[in-house]
Amino acid sequence: MNTSDLAESARKAAERAYAPYSGFRVGSVVVADDGAVYSGSNVENAAFGSAICAEEAAISHAVASGVRRIVAVAVACIDADSVDGAYPCGNCRQLMNEFGVEKVIVTAGAGELREHTLDELLPFGFKLET
Ligand SMILES: [Zn+2]
C-alpha cells in the first residue's frame, strides 16, 4: 500500500469511530513488517479517561494478531478542518516507538496529507534496555 492508499484506509476506519462527545472521528491503520495492515478507530467513553485513540486500537489489533514490528502508521481525523488537529497524542507516539514505527502519515478532513518519521514526532523516545 502506498501513502495515499494508507491515508484512504485510515479515513475509512474513521467512518467507524465512536466519537459522540468530541465529534472528532479518527481512524488509523498500521502496517506490520510483513505488510499486513490492521485498523482501529477512536472509541470515546462518558468517563473520558476510558477513551481509546484510533492508533492505540490499531496497534492493539496488530499486537493481538501476533505483530511485534510495525513499519508505518496512518492517522486520519475526518472531522478536523486542518491536519494540525489530527496528530497523534504523546501516548500514541510512545506506543509507536515500542514497535519500531518509522513512518507516520497524518491526514484530515480537507484531504491535506503530511508524512513524518517517528523521530520527528518523538525525538529521544523512551526505550527500556532489556
Ligand atoms: Zn493517542
Each residue's pLDDT tens digit, 9-51: 999 999 999 999 999 999 999 999 999 999 999 999 999 999 9
The whole-number pLDDT of residue 35 equals 97
Model confidence at 101, pLDDT cuts 50, 70, 90, reads: very high
- Residues annotated catalytic, as ranges: 55
The percent of residues in the chain predicted with pLDDT above 70, rounded, is 100
Residue 82 Cα to ligand 1 midpoint, Å, equals: 17
Q: Which of 42, 21, 126 is nearest to 86 (CA)?
A: 42
pLDDT-derived band at 57, boundaries 50, 70, 90: very high
What residue has cell string 502508521?
Answer: 73
Regarding predicted confidence, which is higher, 130 or 61? 61
Domain 3-121 CATH superfamily: Cytidine Deaminase, domain 2 (3.40.140.10)
Mean pLDDT on 90-106 = 97
Burial of 103 (0-12, 13-18, 19+ CB in 10 A): middle
Q: What is the pLDDT of residue 130?
A: 76
> CA dihedral in degrees (73, 76, 77, 81; nearest 10)?
120
Distance from residue 13's CA to the centre of ligand 1 (Å): 15
Distance 116 CA to ligand 1 centre (A): 16
**Cα of 106 from ligand 1 centre, angstroms:** 13
Q: So where are the chain's domains? A: 3-121
Instruction: Please state, as a whole number, how many other Cβ atoms lie within 10 Å of the Cβ of residue 91.
Output: 11
Reported as a pLDDT band with limits 50, 70 and 90, residue 110 is confident
